[in-house]
């Protein structure tokens, strides 16, 4: 790759700083090097997300995720520059990695082999995406009086047009859109998807079926599907989510977002009648549902036909059945525009170039 140096980071950098390197480099990896650019370690996108789930402070040094075993290779897998393409692919297959740094004899990083660059005629991300766009958006009234929520404008472009664009950028070519409220506003704008670089089909709900029920109207899929709520504005790397889903052999992956809530009072900790501690306005951290999911075909067996059914119910049904449901922390830009103040923030963020 050109400019491999943009993937370089130092072991003295924080996790936050390494996240910025990974996102800027757009290869899903950062390379930890010393002052002579010799390779010390590698940090992948998946390593970072596992660290977030392990509740490691993102202001900690990147070495903390080595110490807490959230990372696979603090003794990085690498190869000598000049090795054949076949040998690199063999290493990737044997070690289940997508990146192999290429070093000179002194251990200095000279290049990075990335699986997407090595495979000819990359077919793109082999996913079908489903955008849930049937809701009435009552909380956004009067904005949604004549317009479905996913079609609300952001700098003269509908929100859902940005979602479709993001899906296409990640290699997704087949998209279904579920509709119910004012469906013609959506179908007239997107048509069959040719003008947007994707193939679009529609699932029309005669009556609202909840956040998962509309999936029962589809033919049983042959591969994994990505489901995203139509009112979500995000820069999520769907490839990274798919890799994470596959590496954990999940039946369902739920995108989650960290949410910090400040308790507006001093919190008292007691032992019987005795006060043992007082914490002034503590901040509680939660992971909340971000409205983005990956489903394996078997998950559809747990969705009742033509019945109002939400994604939360599907999660519960899968867990009860012993199927693996995992969380995928979203660190990229994400915003649910379901409230007027959030819609206003989305418009400001787009105007200011934050997304």
User: Residue 318: which pLDDT band, with cuts at 50, 70 and 90?
Assistant: very high
Longest dimension (CA), the chain: 72
Domain end marker among 118, 136, 158 = 118
- The contacts of residue 150 (CB under 8 Å, 6+ apart) are 131, 133, 158, 159, 160, 163, 186, 230, 231
Residue 294 inside a domain? The answer is: yes
Q: Output phi, psi for 323, to 5 deg.
A: -85, 155
The CATH number assigned to the domain holding 172 equals 3.90.550.10
Residues 141 and 94 in one domain: no
Residue 17 inside a domain? The answer is: yes
Give the mean pLDDT of 301-307: 92
Residues 232 and 134 in one domain: yes
Give the structural domain span for 91.
4-118
Q: How many domains is the chain partitioned into structurally?
A: 2
Q: What is the pLDDT of residue 271?
A: 92
Given a cut of 90, is residue 311 above it in pLDDT? yes
Three-state SS annotation for the chain: CCCHHHHEECCCCEHHHHHHHHHHHCCCEEEEECCCCEEEEEEEHHHHHHHHHCCCCCCCECHHHHHCCCCCCCCCCCEECCCCHHHHHHHHHHHCCCEEEEECCCCEEEEEEEHHHHCCCCCCCCCEEEEECCCCCHHHCCCCCCCCHHHCEECCEEHHHHHHHHHHHCCCCEEEEEECCCHHHHHHHHCCCHHHCCEEEEEECCCCCHHHHHHHHCCCCCCCEEEEECCEEECCCHHHHHHHHHHCCCCEEEEEEEEEEECCCEEEEEECCEEEEEEECCEEEEEEEEEEEEECHHHHHHCCCCCCCCHHHHHHHHHHCCCCEEEEECCCCEEECCCHHHHHHHHHHHHCCCC
Give the mean pLDDT of 71-87: 82
Residue 270: other Cβ atoms inside 10 A? 10
Residue 155 inside a domain? The answer is: yes
Residues 111 and 138 in one domain: no
Residues 273 and 141 in one domain: yes
Residues 187 and 307 in one domain: yes
Residue 107 inside a domain? The answer is: yes
Given a cut of 70, is residue 72 above it in pLDDT? no
Domain end marker among 118, 153, 188 = 118
Residue 148 inside a domain? The answer is: yes
User: Residue 116: which pLDDT band, with cuts at 50, 70 and 90?
Assistant: confident
Residue 221 inside a domain? The answer is: yes
- The contacts of residue 298 (CB under 8 Å, 6+ apart) are 251, 323
Cβ atoms of 299 and 323 closer than 8 Å: yes
Cβ atoms of 32 and 100 closer than 8 Å: no
pLDDT digit string, tens, across residues 171-198: 899 999 999 999 999 999 999 999 999 9
Residues 157 and 106 in one domain: no
Given a cut of 80, is residue 122 above it in pLDDT? no
Residues 110 and 136 in one domain: no
Q: What is the pLDDT of residue 159?
A: 96
Given a cut of 70, is residue 336 above it in pLDDT? yes
Q: What is the pLDDT of residue 182?
A: 94
Q: Output phi, psi for 261, to 5 deg.
A: -120, 125
The rounded distance, in Å, linking the Cα atoms of 19 and 30 is 8
Q: Is 287 left (phi over 0), alpha (psi -120 to 50) or beta?
A: beta
Cβ atoms of 279 and 266 closer than 8 Å: yes
Residues 74 and 153 in one domain: no
Residues 216 and 166 in one domain: yes
Residues 77 and 171 in one domain: no
pLDDT digit string, tens, across residues 128-143: 999 999 988 889 989 9
Domain end marker among 91, 118, 145 = 118
Residues 189 and 335 in one domain: yes
Give the mean pLDDT of 29-47: 93
Residue 123 inside a domain? The answer is: no
Residues 99 and 153 in one domain: no
pTM of the complete model beyond 0.85: yes
Give the mean pLDDT of 283-301: 94
Given a cut of 90, is residue 313 above it in pLDDT? yes
Q: What is the pLDDT of residue 123?
A: 61
Q: What is the pLDDT of residue 208?
A: 85
Mean pLDDT, all residues of the chain: 91
The CATH number assigned to the domain holding 108 equals 3.10.580.10
Residue 190 inside a domain? The answer is: yes
The rounded distance, in Å, linking the Cα atoms of 78 and 118 is 16
Give the mean pLDDT of 233-250: 94
């Amino acid at each position: 790759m050109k400019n491999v140096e943009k993937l370089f980071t130092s072991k003295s950098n924080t996790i936050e700083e390494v996240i910025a390197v990974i996102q800027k480099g757009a290869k899903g990896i950062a390379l930890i090097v010393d002052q002579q650019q010799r390779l010390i370690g590698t940090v992948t996108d998946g390593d970072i997300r596992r660290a977030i789930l392990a509740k490691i402070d993102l202001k900690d040094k990147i070495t903390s995720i080595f110490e807490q075993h959230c990372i696979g290779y603090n003794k990085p897998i690498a190869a000598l520059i000049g090795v054949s393409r076949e040998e690199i692919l063999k290493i990737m297959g044997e070690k289940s990695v997508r990146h192999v740094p290429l070093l000179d004899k002194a251990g200095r990083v000279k290049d990075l082999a990335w699986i997407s660059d090595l495979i000819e005629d990359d077919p793109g991300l082999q996913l079908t995406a489903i955008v849930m766009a049937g809701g009435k958006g009552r909380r956004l009234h009067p904005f949604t009086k004549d317009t479905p929520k996913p079609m609300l404008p952001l700098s003269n472009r509908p929100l859902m047009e940005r979602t479709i664009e993001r899906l296409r950028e990640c290699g997704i070519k087949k998209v279904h859109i579920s509709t119910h409220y004012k469906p013609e506003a959506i179908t007239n704008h997107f048509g069959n998807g040719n003008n947007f670089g994707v193939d679009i089909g529609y699932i029309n709900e005669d009556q609202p079926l909840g956040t998962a029920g509309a999936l029962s109207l589809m033919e049983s899929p042959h591969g994994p599907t990505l489901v995203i709520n139509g009112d979500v504005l995000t820069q999520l790397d769907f490839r990274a989510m798919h890799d994470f889903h596959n590496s954990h052999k999940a039946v369902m992956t739920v995108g989650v977002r960290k949410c910090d809530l400040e308790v507006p009072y001093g919190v008292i900790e007691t032992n019987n009648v005795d006060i043992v501690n007082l914490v002034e306005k503590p901040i509680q951290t939660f992971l909340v549902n971000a409205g983005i999911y990956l489903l394996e075909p078997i998950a559809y067996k747990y969705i009742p036909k033509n019945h109002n059914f939400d994604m939360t119910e599907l999660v519960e049904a899968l867990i009860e059945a012993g199927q693996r449901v995992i969380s995928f922390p979203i660190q990229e830009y994400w915003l649910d525009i379901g409230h007027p103040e959030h819609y206003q923030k989305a418009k400001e963020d787009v105007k200011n170039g934050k997304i």
